[in-house]
Amino acid sequence: MNSDLLMQMLTVIGDEIARMWWFFLLSILLVGIIKGYKLDLRIRDAIHRAGPYGILIAILVGMVSPLCACGILPVAISLAMIGTPLAPLLALLATSPMMGPDAFILTWSGLGAHWAFLKLGGAAVVGLVVGCTTQLLVRSGWLAGNQLRLQPVYREDGSLAPAAEIGAAAGIKVATMTIVPRASRLRFILDRTLDAGWFVGKFLLLAIVIEAILVTLVPMQWITILVGKPDFSSVLLAALIGLPLPLNQIPAIPVLSGLLQRGIDPGAAWTFLLAAPVSSLPAMIALTGMFRLRVVTVFLTTTLLTAILLGWGYQLLS
């Protein structure tokens, strides 16, 4: 790589960091406040008591919980072990990887208000479609009965083991951390803010580097040929491109910013923004460990088709 290209890449990286740093600080502080006051846990606990409104509550939880596809697994496992219905579980697993308070703020910073609200609305629609489709299939009998591969794990005192232990017994690696009580709520919020900063920051920086590579090294005609045309094939390819990428709701933002600069069609861009986080290969591996194959098939098919149809509809209305 010659010095001119390297300087171009470093310029893109520096510009993105300069543009997003204070949004990044605001987003991780918001995560710390949510964790400090246990707002996500309070709403999460309402899912199991929500009855017919469980899908809507699950979508709300997904949107206020700053957790990606893998980070939401401990919540989902805990809910599954206490008998939460399948429909709200899948609605939660569809919505959370796409949207959270930190993701909304950083999307606004990286892509603009228009894309932030498109992402918010798209996440709600995908979660609703997944939840309602699952509920219909449960009632029809196709997804009736126990669809979990997971089995409860109990400790010697008879209490249910943490999600990390239950997941490990089924071969699922669940991210976990030891929460040490603090005498000061402010100190607790600060600690959770720093945790979020480390977790989000390393992925965000990697995504900014990927954006710089796209902008500097990928010829514009490549993007235009693949996903730059306002037709159904661009939307379909955008969904398929996102499948193997380990992108959660935060790293997808700079990557899409780079794609938009190289000429990706807006409809395909919306599909990528929704499909990439929820259908990534790491998320699918974890879901395969949690649920039986037909549940994973329904989840993947429904999320991808909904994201594709939203992108196609956006093309037609633009």
- Of the CA atoms within 13 Å of residue 241, those in its CB half-sphere come to 21
Per-domain boundaries in the chain: 3-317
Confidence (pTM) = 0.74
What pLDDT does residue 117 have?
93
**CA dihedral over 230, 218, 284, 73, signed as positive or negative:** negative
Per-residue pLDDT tens, the chain, 318 aa: give them. 577 777 877 887 787 777 667 667 776 777 677 677 766 566 667 776 776 678 888 888 778 766 555 556 666 777 777 777 888 889 988 888 788 777 788 788 888 899 999 999 999 999 999 999 999 999 998 988 878 776 666 666 666 666 666 666 666 666 555 555 556 777 777 877 787 677 667 766 776 777 677 667 766 565 666 666 777 888 888 888 766 565 566 667 777 887 787 778 888 889 888 887 777 665 676 677 778 889 989 998 999 999 999 999 998 887
